[in-house]
Structure 1
Amino acid sequence: MHDHGGGGGGVPWAVVLPAAGVLLLAAAYLLLVRAGTGGGGRRHPRLRTASFLTGCALLAAALLPPVAPFAHHDFRGHMLQHLLIGMYAPLALVLGAPVTVLLRALPAARARRLTAVLRSRPAALLAHPVTALVLTTGGLGVLYFTPLYDATAAHPGLHWLVHAHFLASGCLFAWAIAGPDPAPARPGVPARLLVLGAAIAGHAVLSQLMYGGFLVDMQAPVAQLQGAAEIMYYGGDIAELLLAAALVATWRPTASTRGVSLLGPRARGRTRHESTP
């Protein structure tokens, strides 16, 4: 199993670096919230701030002891870590509406440029729920049914790259399905529920194949494989039910017509003054 700890009695970089990264992420979000609401306009909802900070806490729990050492030596721990990094933390982070926070903190001109990027065709393709589904569920298949998982044991850089992929693809999937931030060319709720159903079915198939030992390509005891498959099956179902609940809770029928509301109060004021009649 993996062993990428900072042994040898030196500085435990495997603990220090993830902890510092998560703290920086939380601090950056809070600073952007303060910058976006400093003009006396609409306050950022506290529940969104709490959600983002919860996501940071879940990410820290996945990357720090006791979960990280458990994941390095037991495949069940790895699966728990994967669920936290790839499903639970992304959902909480996305529900914090980080894109809206960033846009409100930026000057009007920069906010418009970023909005234009988000509305571009490449962004629309990347943010489509089907693309996000392929990156998340497809990534699981590549990791567990090819030699990739065992390769990460010998290459710490590859190990962290896989973590980064699951965090990014998990955030992308949560954003495409139920993010409160606007997404380019987001399909309607029935289509997103259909994609979410496909994700649930995909996780079920992968976990059942893993439990039965079919097609898996990794070195792990049978008991650990079966335990990890159960964690994937039940833990994934809970995460996807939470995502479905978030979709219902954050759905706004007229969200696609509220592009100007992305900007902060000062930015909106400048936008109105700069526009032509």
Structure 2
Amino acid sequence: MHLNNHIHDGSEMEFHGLSVQLILSVPFFIALVIYLYAAILSKRRKRSWRSYRIVMWITGIFCALAAIIGPLATRSHSDFTAHMLGHLLLGMLAPLLLVLASPMTLILRTLDVKHARTLSHILKSNPLRLINHPLTASFLNVGGLWLLYTTSLYQTMEQNELVQIAVHLHVFLAGYLFTSAFIYADPNPHRTGYIYRSCVLIIALACHSILSKYIYAHPPMGVPIDQAKTGGLIMYYGGDVIDLILITILCYQWFKGTRPRMNEAISIK
């Protein structure tokens, strides 16, 4: 009888785990189909879309999917190291690749004039100005991680499917907002200066690094010490690699943005 109950509980947990993975994966599959369809539509209208952007979108989608479905996602419930690998994929690498794929530019060029104008008005709205501001995006992204790993939220997430879904969606969306607030691959009517973005980015990345060290020394509730140390190291060094890419892109855009004025100044002299 005890064995049957144990088997039943295990099957129920597996079922709930699969259902959560399915719910989380559906939006990404939809996004993949929409993007590819828009790229094909753009090509049919004699407005080709660069292949590297399509590759980035596909790669970004699969990075996100690797964190929410499959072996890594299943293992992350019992192994904090796997969870942290998933965090890097879902909250940092996938958003970076997806932002560089310029999805909003592609959507705007495939919509008719009326709908494109409507979308442009939405992008110019004050709520989006607030959400896409570097400070707000940093607070939602890094602040959300501090809340997750320094309170009982992480333990609650492992026990509640709805909280788990909400946390995963927040990690991805906050990561996407954060990336798009600092590097502009799409039209952005609420641009901020390079110096301002650089200062905010430095502070945000410092807070992210401090959190990884905090996790190393103070494991989240329910996480073994050895797993917390490994997870903290992955977050610190793995995050540094992705952050370096982000910084490089920002500096490159800064260089491109100021080069015309530099050339103009030289010609005046």
TM-score (norm 2): 0.85
Q: Does the CA-based 8 Å contact 2:24-2:165 persist in structure 1?
A: no
Residues 22 and 126 (structure 1), Cα distance of their counterparts in 2 relative to 1, 3 Å cut = closer
State the distance in 2 between where 1:249 and 1:196 align.
15
Counterpart selection for 1:162 from 154, 157, 167: 167
Q: Does the CA-based 8 Å contact 1:22-1:60 persist in structure 2?
A: yes
Question: What is the identity, as a one-letter code, of the residue corresponding to 1:193?
Answer: S
- 1:110-137 Cα distance to aligned partner (Å, 9 max, x none): 1111111111222111111111000000
Which structure dedicates a bigger proportion of its chain to helix?
2
Instruction: Kindly state the Cα deviation for residue 245 of structure 1 after the two structures are TM-superposed.
Output: 2.0
Residue in structure 2 matched with residue 110 of structure 1 by the alignment: 115
Instruction: Kindly state the Cα deviation for residue 249 of structure 1 after the two structures are TM-superposed.
Output: 4.2
Residue in structure 1 matched with residue 41 of structure 2 by the alignment: 35
State the distance in 1 between where 2:42 and 2:122 align.
20
Counterpart selection for 2:14 from 3, 7, 16: 7
1:242 aligned onto 2:265: no
Residue in structure 1 matched with residue 261 of structure 2 by the alignment: none
Counterpart selection for 1:119 from 119, 124, 129: 124
1:65 aligned onto 2:70: yes
1:147 aligned onto 2:152: yes
Residue in structure 1 matched with residue 225 of structure 2 by the alignment: 222
Structure with the larger RCO, 1 or 2 (CA within 8 Å, 6+ apart)? 1
CA RMSD of aligned residues (A): 2.3
State the distance in 1 between where 2:185 and 2:156 align.
37
1:187 aligned onto 2:192: yes
1:130 aligned onto 2:129: no
Q: Percent identity?
A: 35
State the distance in 1 between where 2:223 and 2:105 align.
43
Q: Does the CA-based 8 Å contact 1:62-1:81 persist in structure 2?
A: yes
Q: Does the CA-based 8 Å contact 1:4-1:156 persist in structure 2?
A: no
Question: What is the identity, as a one-letter code, of the residue corresponding to 1:7?
Answer: E
State the distance in 1 between where 2:11 and 2:257 align.
47
1:178 aligned onto 2:178: no
Instruction: Kindly state the Cα deviation for residue 16 of structure 1 after the two structures are TM-superposed.
Output: 4.6
Counterpart selection for 2:257 from 228, 253, 259: 253
Residues 56 and 113 (structure 1), Cα distance of their counterparts in 2 relative to 1, 3 Å cut = same
Question: What is the identity, as a one-letter code, of the residue corresponding to 2:38?
Answer: L
- 1:181-216 Cα distance to aligned partner (Å, 9 max, x none): 022322122222222211220111111111111xx5
Q: Does the CA-based 8 Å contact 1:118-1:184 persist in structure 2?
A: yes
Instruction: Kindly state the Cα deviation for residue 14 of structure 1 after the two structures are TM-superposed.
Output: 4.7
State the distance in 1 between where 2:200 and 2:18 align.
41
Instruction: Kindly state the Cα deviation for residue 12 of structure 1 after the two structures are TM-superposed.
Output: 4.2
State the distance in 1 between where 2:11 and 2:31 align.
23
State the distance in 2 between where 1:102 and 1:47 align.
17
Which 5+ residue runs of structure 1 have no aligned equivalent?
255-277
State the distance in 2 between where 1:89 and 1:197 align.
21
